[in-house]
Amino acid sequence: MAFPVKTRIQETIEFANKLGFKRLGVAFCRGLRNEAKILSEILGEQGFEVASVICMHGRKESKRVLRAKRGPENKNRRI
């Protein structure tokens, strides 16, 4: 099995440069905010303007979502 020569970050930077992108977006889960910060710093050092969003933005309470999927007949069923 061959291993990639470049990291995914390096490949993303090269791809974005090849297409002439100046702004990149980073969407991430709340639990990965430290990693997202590091990625944003790396991309910024490479000259990109970075916009980021945490996936909890606009979230719904999981119990409400599950209840809605089950329907009203199962609303009292334990989750």
Q: Is pLDDT at 7 greater than 50 in this prediction?
A: yes
Looking at residue 54, its pLDDT comes to 87
Give the domain range for residue 14: 8-74
Give a yes or no: residue 55 inside a domain. yes
Q: Which two tokens stand for residue 24?
A: 């990149």
Number of structural domains the chain divides into: 1
What is the CB neighbour count within 10 angstroms for residue 13?
A: 20
Give a yes or no: residue 1 inside a domain. no
Give a yes or no: residue 12 inside a domain. yes
Looking at residue 2, its pLDDT comes to 79
Question: Minimal CA–CA distance to 23: which of 47, 49, 46?
Answer: 49
Give pTM, 2 decimals.
Answer: 0.66
Q: Contact at 8 Å (CB) between 58 and 51?
A: no
**Hey, which residues does 51 pair with through a beta bridge?**
25
Instruction: List pLDDT tens digits, range 11-68.
Output: 999 999 999 999 999 999 888 999 999 999 999 999 999 999 988 655 666 566 556 5
**Hey, which residues does 3 pair with through a beta bridge?**
none
Give a yes or no: residue 46 inside a domain. yes
Give a yes or no: residue 23 inside a domain. yes
